[in-house]
């Protein structure tokens, strides 16, 4: 089980930034809001690293723009949205992901998930 978790972590690590940029396409979001959007699509970060350092890196690299605004009844939050460069990075990343996924599927697709005794 530990090996499976580690593999999942490794697989996610390479694409989590793309996932964040993708959920920002729905509209500007603050940290926890993005976590909820990911979870709504079946991607839980439980067991993975936090998204905050990733958001920090995206901000530092100029892939997201931020602004501070009041949330629903709560304190002002920092909202993130993909910049033009971020959208381009997302488009390039999705192409790469699809190509890699198809190549891996071609190898792993025929392999059964049941192991005979």
Partner 1 sequence: MSEFVDECRREWKRLRVPDPIANEMAADLAADLQEAEAEGASPEQVLGSEAFDPRSFAASWAAARGVMARPRVAVVRPLHLHSWPVRSAIAAGVSIATIFVGLAIVTVRRGSTSVATASPAAVRQPGPSGGVFLRQFGFGAGPPARLILGFGLVVLLVGIVGLVLWSVYWSPWADPIRSGRRRSSIDDGLGGPGF
Which residue in the set 7, 27, 50, 104 belongs to the binding site for partner 1 (CB under 8 A)? 50
With a CB cutoff of 8 Å and minimum separation 6, the contacts of 95 are: none
Q: How far is the CB of 22 from partner 1 (least distance, A)?
A: 18
Query: In the chain, where does DSSP find H-type helix?
Result: 2-13, 16-24, 31-40, 52-60, 84-108
DSSP 48: S
What is the footprint of partner 1 within residues 66-85 (CB under 8 A)?
71, 74-75, 77-78
Cβ closer to partner 1: 57 or 98?
57
What is the footprint of partner 1 within residues 86-115 (CB under 8 A)?
none
Cβ closer to partner 1: 10 or 114?
10
* 14 binds partner 1 per the rule CB under 8 A: no
47: left (phi over 0), alpha (psi -120 to 50) or beta: left
- What tokens appear for 24 in the block? 């920002």
* 48 binds partner 1 per the rule CB under 8 A: yes
Q: How far is the CB of 46 from partner 1 (least distance, A)?
A: 5
Determine the Cα–Cα distance for residues 101 and 110; give it in Å rounded to an integer. 14
């Amino acid at each position: 089980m530990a090996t499976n978790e580690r593999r999942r972590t490794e697989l996610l690590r390479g694409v989590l930034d793309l996932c964040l940029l993708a959920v920002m396409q729905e509209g500007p979001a603050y940290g926890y809001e993005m976590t909820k959007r990911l979870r709504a699509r079946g991607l839980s970060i439980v067991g993975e690293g936090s998204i905050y350092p990733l958001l920090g890196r995206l901000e530092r690299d100029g892939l997201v723009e931020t602004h501070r605004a009041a949330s629903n009844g709560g304190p002002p939050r920092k909202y993130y949205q993909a910049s033009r460069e971020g959208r381009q990075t997302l488009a390039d990343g999705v192409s790469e992901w699809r190509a890699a996924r198809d190549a891996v599927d071609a190898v792993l697709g025929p392999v059964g998930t049941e192991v005979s005794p």
